[in-house]
Amino acid sequence: MSIWDVLARHGKELIEHAATRLQFHLSTDPVPHLWVDILTRNVPLARGLTPHDQERLLRVARLLLDEVPFEGCDGVEITEDIRVTIAATAALLVHRLPYPRFTKLVRVLVYPDTFLPVRARSWHDVAVEEPEATLGQAWMSGVVVLSWSAVQRDATSAASGNVVLHEMAHILDAEDGIFDGQPLHDDPSQGERWAATLEREFAIQRAAVEAGEDAPLNDYAARNHAEFFAVATEAFFCTPDRLRDRLPDLYLQLSRFFREDPSASSVPA
Ligand SMILES: [Zn+2]
Q: Is 259 a residue whose pLDDT tops 80?
A: yes
Q: 69 and 86 in contact (C-beta within 8 Å)?
A: no
Distance 230 CA to ligand 1 centre (A): 6
36-40, 96-100, 139-143, 185-189: range with highest mean pLDDT: 36-40
Cα 261 to Cα 251: distance, rounded to the nearest angstrom: 9
Q: Is 204 a residue whose pLDDT tops 80?
A: yes
Distance 192 CA to ligand 1 centre (A): 23
Classified as helix, coil or strand, 46 is: helix
Distance 162 CA to ligand 1 centre (A): 11
Write out pLDDT tens, residues 220-242.
999 999 999 999 999 999 999 99
Distance 3 CA to ligand 1 centre (A): 27
pTM as predicted: 0.86
Distance 67 CA to ligand 1 centre (A): 23
Tell me the pLDDT band of 14, cut-offs 50, 70 and 90.
very low
Cα 41 to Cα 5: distance, rounded to the nearest angstrom: 32
Write out pLDDT tens, residues 115-158.
765 555 555 556 565 545 568 888 888 889 999 999 999 988 78
Distance 21 CA to ligand 1 centre (A): 31
Distance 127 CA to ligand 1 centre (A): 9
Write out pLDDT tens, residues 29-62.
889 999 999 999 999 999 999 999 999 999 999 9
Distance 169 CA to ligand 1 centre (A): 8
